[in-house]
Chain A
Amino acid sequence: MRWVLVAAMVIATVAADLLQSHEMKRAGEQSVSARGLARLLHVIARRRLLILGIACNAVSFLTFMALVQTEPLSFAVPASSSSFVLETLLAKFVLHERIGARRAAGALAVLAGVVLVGS
């Protein structure tokens, strides 16, 4: 059961992040002051794909909530990071981000670390 939850969580997380990254880059720079957050809510209300991204986040969050009830936080949190590899590849090929050697090496170190923390 816990791996079904992990799979659902990963798919939802990847969809949420791709949609949100794509939409937020198009929306322009945002801030987190009270005014900035109000403006951000306004941006969200106007963008359907962003709302879809947030819905995916909700699915990801609810599966995470179910997972932490039965599993320790130290399993649930690293398990949720299996989306990491998939998302980094999609960031390069779908979002056209430039991932140089240093960023790739850093991402791999983080991934190895997350796996070690989780197992």
Chain B
Amino acid sequence: MTNLARSSSAVLKTYSVLLFFLALKAAGNSSMAWGMKQVPERMSMNPALYLRAMLNPFVAMGVAALILALLTRMALLSLADLSFVLPVTAIGYVIAVFLGKVFLHETVTRQRWLGTLLIFAGAALVGSTSPDTTPIDITPAAEGPK
């Protein structure tokens, strides 16, 4: 086990990276969904169609934000367990429902709000556990070449 002071600052860092990830993911998803609705062709196995879809500025901005979100999530995985990251980042679904309602005018039923509440409660419960339970701290020096 690592000492207490170090682990509490590590938890703080974990939560800042988590917040940054959620913001990027929400912005990226919304921008991409908005842009894709303006793209006339159906996507298929043809990669050229995806590249053409990225000519839409909303799709392009969305992709940029989602790439940054991917890198941020990788940093998060270096700080916390996968079984911690998965439930706490599910807060992103709550944000997606909310943004879908406000900006894309999707309907939100009572059942969906109940689901949102459960995601919040579950994520809070997981968030109260120790983020990293596999403290095998391998320093680059101790590690052999890959």
- B-side contacts of A49, CB under 8 Å: 146
Interface SS majority for chain A: helix
Residue of A nearest to B101 (CB): A74
Among A32, A78, A98, contact of B75 (Cβ-Cβ < 8 Å)? A32
- A-side contacts of B53, CB under 8 Å: 65
- A-side contacts of B128, CB under 8 Å: 102, 106
Contact B77 A21, beta carbon cutoff 8 Å: yes
A interface residues (Cβ-Cβ under 8 A, vs B): 17-18, 20-21, 24-32, 36-37, 40-41, 44, 46-50, 54, 57, 61-62, 65-66, 68-70, 72-74, 77-78, 81, 84, 87-88, 91-92, 95-100, 102-103, 105-119
B interface residues (Cβ-Cβ under 8 A, vs A): 10, 13, 17, 20, 29, 32-33, 36-37, 39, 42-44, 50, 53, 66, 70-75, 77-79, 81-87, 90, 93-94, 96-97, 100, 104, 106, 108, 111-112, 114-129, 133-134, 136-140, 143, 146
7 smallest CB-CB distances across A and B, nearest first, come from A116-B115, A109-B122, A113-B118, A106-B125, A110-B122, A106-B126, A113-B119
